[in-house]
């Protein structure tokens, strides 16, 4: 295992460097997302996108929070005090771009929610492909209680995941929901007493599949959501065509057929 630590973000390479665990490292502040931490995430995402050392062999990313109290309590309010209209808008656009880059990584990204995920923390979790939470966690978009709304993609991703009515209830009341409710409405994929271990296990399962096929699956889903089903159908067909032209796909099909032949032979003898 290779571990690197920075002041606000730590990363660990495990599973023969195929999996990176990124830990939001501000436990005394509830792992709140200040400008420094968002910038550190941006650097990590860029390194993963370009497969820069030490991440050349990485096949999946898990994001969690330090300590046992919070995945992330949200954006650091200190970074929002006294902002002008233009500065506030620019800061939201900058954060949106980082989370968009995370969502469009050609790797599976799983959030291991080990405590509260509020505001920007929930927005970060929703920019991941999947979410696993502890039973004690609470999730919410409380910005309305500060006379504002989510600004890092929450108004867009939350209704996409749970539907408009449930999203609006969370956004307009600011009330947090329990892990059980989050699972019930599809906001999280699973509840586990050890969300980090469960997230790593899921990442390892996905990583056993062809990396190109995993990337294609992500692209097809997100392109369809972003640009509409008509475009989604087109890109799906194009990506299937691309995959069928790869040696790894042809080898996988041949291996499947070879495994099937003995079974067919046995059935014919009966």
Question: How many beta carbons lie within 10 A of that of residue 78, not counting itself?
Answer: 10
143 is a catalytic site residue:
yes
Rounded CA-CA distance 144/11 in Å is 33
- Choosing from 6, 42, 46, 143, which is the catalytic residue? 143
**Residue 150's closest CA among 109, 96, 224, 84?**
96
CA–CA separation, 126 vs 61, rounded Å? 14
- Active-site residue flag, 184: no
Instruction: List the catalytic residue out of 6, 36, 103, 123.
Output: 123
Q: Are 212 and 206 in contact (CB under 8 A)?
A: no
147: part of which helix (H) or strand (E)?
A: none
Neighbours of 203 (CB within 10 A): 25
Strands 60-65 and 70-72: unpaired
Cα distance between the two ends of the chain: 52
Q: Which DSSP string corresponds to 96-144?
A: HHHHHHHHT-SS-EEEEE-SEEETHHHHHHHHSSEEEE-TT-EEE-GGG
| Residue with token string 């392109």 | 223
**Which residues are tagged catalytic?**
123, 143
């Amino acid at each position: 295992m290779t571990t690197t630590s920075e002041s606000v973000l730590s990363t660990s390479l495990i599973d023969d460097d195929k999996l990176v665990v990124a830990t939001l490292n501000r436990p005394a502040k509830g792992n709140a997302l200040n400008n420094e931490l968002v910038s550190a995430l941006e650097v990590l995402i860029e390194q993963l996108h370009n497969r820069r050392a030490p991440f050349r062999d990485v096949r999946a990313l898990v994001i969690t929070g330090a300590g046992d109290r919070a995945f992330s309590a949200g954006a650091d309010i200190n970074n929002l005090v006294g902002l002008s209209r233009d500065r506030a808008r620019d800061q939201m656009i900058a954060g949106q771009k980082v989370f968009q880059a995370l969502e469009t990584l050609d790797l599976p990204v799983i959030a291991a929610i080990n405590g509260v995920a509020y505001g920007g923390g929930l927005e970060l979790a929703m920019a991941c492909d999947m979410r696993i939470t502890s039973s004690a966690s609470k999730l919410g978009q409380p910005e309305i209680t500060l006379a504002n709304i989510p600004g890092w993609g929450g108004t867009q991703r939350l209704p996409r995941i749970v539907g408009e009515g449930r999203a609006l209830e969370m956004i307009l009341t600011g009330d947090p929901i329990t892990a059980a409710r989050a699972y019930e409405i599809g906001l999280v994929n699973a509840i586990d007493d050890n969300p980090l271990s469960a997230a790593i296990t899921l990442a390892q399962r996905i990583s056993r599949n062809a990396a190109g096929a995993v990337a294609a699956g992500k692209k097809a889903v997100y392109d369809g959501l972003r640009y509409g089903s008509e475009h989604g159908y087109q890109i799906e067909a194009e990506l299937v065509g691309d995959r069928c032209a790869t040696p790894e796909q042809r080898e996988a099909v041949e291996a499947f057929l070879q495994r099937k032949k003995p079974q067919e032979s046995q059935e014919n003898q009966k």
